[in-house]
Structure 1
Amino acid sequence: METLEEVELCFPQLLNTSCKRPKRSHFEIIMSYTILSSITVLTTTLNLLVIISISHFKQLHTPTNLFLLSLAVSDFFVGLLMFFQIMLIDGCWYLGDLLCVLYLYLAYIITSTSVGNMVLICADRYVAICHPLHYSTKVTQKRVQVCVSLCWICSVIFQSLVLKNNLEQPGSSISCTGECVAVSNNIAELADLILSFIGPVIVIIVLYMRVFVVAVSQARAMRSHIVAVTLQGSVKVNVKKSEIKAARTLAVVVFVFLICLCPYYIVVLTAPDALLNSSSSFVICLFYFNSCLNPLIYAFFYPWFRKCLKLIVTLEILRPDSCVAYIL
């Protein structure tokens, strides 16, 4: 039987109600702090650069970039919320029940909004590639603003319903002092699983597969047309390269999204009460790491982002006429 000397408590003065601090090696704690801090800084920095770029340069005020801006904003706040996750490395929460509920509430809203933004980006690319002639009429600046606003509003309303009991009675779901968890009923958990994970995954895969099929078919049609008229050898090489590039890009997008989100929801389904041990801490960090990768996938590979980055780093963005600079 464990004695008090063998057990390290989050609040030693509360012998009967304090949570036990998980036993972890000094190396594991240092590595966790280092990795989480690096992800936090990288996530906030990259997404802030995307926000500044799209907001400042007028040439980037397009419907597609509005989706990217909304995604960058949600991912930026995910990076800020990771500071609280760093505090949970040793398995103890020291900021009280009210701040715990507020942290979890904001985390749920922002992460679900980030996933929703990814779905909107997929839909935007689907219309642009599969229905290019109707894109300018279907995807307008006003409609994009409405979709982005609805994405945020729906996330707030939905997560308010999921965490209703926790918001009304902060601390009612914890089993000991120093714990920070959110507990909801089975219906709410199932709805959150479907709307925040299963649904978006299905939509993203279906849309991207459709985009890939259309892109490949268009490339092959163009190849057949050009081959019948002009040089055959060089065209084949170029088309094959474009097909491979399209397949690689779509595969990376889907794979990264799934690889970052699947482990978290697997833990939620199999062991929902084990959110503060070392294994769950890893999957939570991986879940947040997707927000660090989003600007790299959706923005960093765009040439305009590299141009904006250069203007920001060299402080040329401070010039009065920099907002009308040629970026594209």
Structure 2
Amino acid sequence: METFGETELCFPQLLNASCVKAQRPHFETLLTYILVLALSLLTAFLNLLVIISISHFKQLHTPTNFLLLSLAVSDFFIGFLLFGQILVIDGCWLLGDHMCTMYQYLDYIITSTSVGNMVLISVDRYVAICDPLHYSIKVTQVRVKICVSLCWICSVIFQSLILKDVLKQPGRYNSCIGECIIVNNYIAGLVEVIFSFIVPITVIIVLYMRVFVVAVSQARAMRSHIAAVSLQRPTKVTAKKSELKAARTLGVVVVVFLMCLCPFYCVALTGRDNLMNASSVAFLTILYYFNACLNPMIYTLFYPWFRKSIKLILALKILQPDSCAANLL
């Protein structure tokens, strides 16, 4: 059985005022550093590819892709937030109370915006599948840009209200120097969980259940009438297939999103997080952030245009004149 040396403090010069470093094997700490750093860099890099792809290539400037762009931006910042987890692996925050509060504040904003983007994506797919005739009228680029902007603005305002006490007095809940925690009062915590998790997740599940039912019925109808429809209106069949494929792909994104977030919030809702050891809490936190890395991987598997754009970006062909007009579809 491995034994540890004497207790180490985050700030040895402060003696009793300093927090105690987490006691764990050196190999485990080093491995955690490597995994978190690799995941952070991979998340930022993959989402940067999505951002460049949709921003640069004009052919990808569609309402749905603008929603994916907003999600990629939030996931890109989550990659940097994940890098911040390196600072607390050994239980010590060395950057002071103000930086701790700012880090947690940005964390709340980015993650809530990511949830809001998922809701917008679900609404987009709901309209596209359940009301395809009016989709182009209801869902326009201007409206999508307005919704995305409101999503980010509302996240900033909402989290500023939730964390106003913490923002006024950084580090007020820290029990020792080197700790980085944010504790909300009961009402603020309940409101945050309801509007950042329960309501959005309920909306997402309800909308996608409806999308799934309609998509299945449409797929059956298409299979039964494919011969006649393909002769009379081939473009409409293609459009329906495209929408169904997009719904299926984004459905995978939503399911993965729920799988990554639900364990974290379920533990928070039950109030068992205080009873868990540091390793379990770290696992749930990293799983929460890991969703941001999975989304671009899903796009790579299901979207041919993303694979093509990656090749052009990595080959630096986007630096050539008129590369933004490349055919990716």
Q: Structure 2 length as normaliser, TM-score? A: 0.89
Q: Give the Cα–Cα distance (whole angstroms) in 2 for the partners of residues 37 and 286 of structure 1.
A: 14
Matches within 5 A, 1:1-328: 6-226=6-226, 249=249, 252-269=252-269, 270-273=271-274, 277-298=278-299, 301-328=302-329
Q: Show structure 1 runs of 5+ residues with no match.
A: 231-241
Tell me by how many angstroms 1:253 deviates.
3.2
Give 1:178 shift.
0.6
1:235 is aligned to: none
The separation in 1 between residues aligned to 2:263 and 2:134, in whole angstroms, is 38
How many matched pairs? 313
SS at match of 1:14: helix
SS of the residue 1:21 aligns to: coil
Where 2:94 maps in the other structure, the secondary structure is: coil
Residues 99 and 300 of structure 1, relative CA distance in 2, 3 Å threshold: farther
Structure 2 letter corresponding to 1:308: S
- CA RMSD in angstroms comes to 2.4
Q: Is the 8 A contact 2:109 2:159 kept in 1?
A: yes
Query: Does the 8 Å CA contact 1:63/1:141 hold for their aligned counterparts?
Result: yes
Shift of 1:250: 6.6
DSSP-derived class of the 2:209 partner: helix
% identity of equivalent residues? 68
Distance in 1 between residues matched to 2:300 and 2:58, nearest whole Å:
16
- Going from structure 1 to structure 2, the CA distance change for 1:141 and 1:247 (only over 3 Å counts) comes to closer
Q: CA, structure 1 residues 73+248, in 2 after alignment: closer, same or farther (shift >3 Å)? A: closer
Secondary structure, counterpart of 2:260 in structure 1 = helix
Whole-Å separation in 2 of the counterparts to 1:254 and 1:72: 14
C-alpha distance in 2, partners of 1:229/1:214?
A: 19
**8 Å CA contact 1:208, 1:250 repeated in 2:** no
Greater Cα shift, 12-21 or 166-175: 12-21
Flag the structure with higher helix content: 2
- Secondary structure of 2:119's match? helix
- Write out per-residue CA displacement over residues 230-277 of structure 1, whole angstroms, 9 at most, x where no aligned residue: 9xxxxxxxxxxx9x9899757643432222112211332324547982
Greater shift in the superposed pair: 43-52 or 268-277: 268-277
The answer as to whether partners of 1:22 and 1:91 remain within 8 angstroms in 2 is yes
Per-residue CA distance 1:295-320 (angstroms, 9 max, x = gap): 22346521111111111111111001
**Structure 2 residue ranges without an equivalent (≥5):** 231-241
Amino acid of the structure 1 residue aligned with 2:13: Q
The separation in 2 between residues aligned to 1:161 and 1:218, in whole angstroms, is 44
TM superposition shift of 1:201: 1.4
